[in-house]
Amino acid sequence: MNRGTKRGGDEPDEFERPVADVLNDQGLMAAQELVQKKIDAVRRTLQDGLGVADGDIVEIPVLFNSSSKWYPGRYFAETVNMVNGLLIGNEFIVPDPLGPIVGGKDVLLQAVKDRIEPLGCRVRPVDNFYPYHRHGGEVHCGTNATRHPVVPTGYFIP
């Protein structure tokens, strides 16, 4: 499923396997359903509390997994998680998902471009697989960006 994630001498990563195998993995698909229910609940809470419309939320594809060895009952992004990118002006810097190539394009990256670029942002992928993703982080974790809201509004004002 991931491509280009193997360096010389390294063992192959678990997701260097065909997409069909991933889709036929009943345990993994059950994990997706469970995580999606949790995401949906958080989304509803945010929408209700902040008045955010469905059309204002951009869904980004990611595959989750769990590890009984390290974090029983908790889930992590198995595929590179483009949600944890960095927005600077109208540039959205995302971890390169290293997803399956169909028709010469990375289907995961293209899905994000198709959703983000019509909003006026340019999507710029960077390879952060080894320095961050393999250690539980992504692009945002490797930055120290600070920003100030243009107009202070919302839930954080007393």
Does the active-site annotation cover 141?
yes
Does the model's pTM come out above 0.85? no
In whole angstroms, give the CA distance from residue 122 to residue 117.
6
Q: Cβ(93)–Cβ(124) under 8 Å?
A: yes
Environment class of 148 (CB within 10 Å of its CB; exposed 0-12, middle 13-18, buried 19+): exposed
In whole angstroms, give the CA distance from residue 26 to residue 12.
22
DSSP output for 69-118: TTEEEEEEESS--TTS-EEETTEEEEE-----EETTEEHHHHHHHHHHGG
Residue 37 in domain: yes
Residue 157 in domain: no
Indicate the number of domains in the chain. 1
Over the stretch 34-70, which tens digit does the pLDDT of each residue have?
999 999 999 999 999 999 899 889 999 988 888 767 6
Residue 93 in domain: yes
- Which of 103, 104, 61, 113 is CA-nearest to residue 82? 61
Residue 150 in domain: no
Q: What is the DSSP secondary structure assignment for residue 5, as one 8-state letter?
A: -
Residue 36 in domain: yes
- Range with top average pLDDT, 22-36, 61-75, 119-133: 22-36
Using CA atoms, how far residue 111 sits from 58, 107, 114, 145, in Å, is: 11, 6, 5, 26
Residue 60 in domain: yes
User: What is the overall mean pLDDT for the chain?
Assistant: 80
Residue 68 in domain: yes
What domain range is 135 assigned to? 19-142
Residue 69 in domain: yes
List 141, 147, 149, 151, catalytic entry: 141
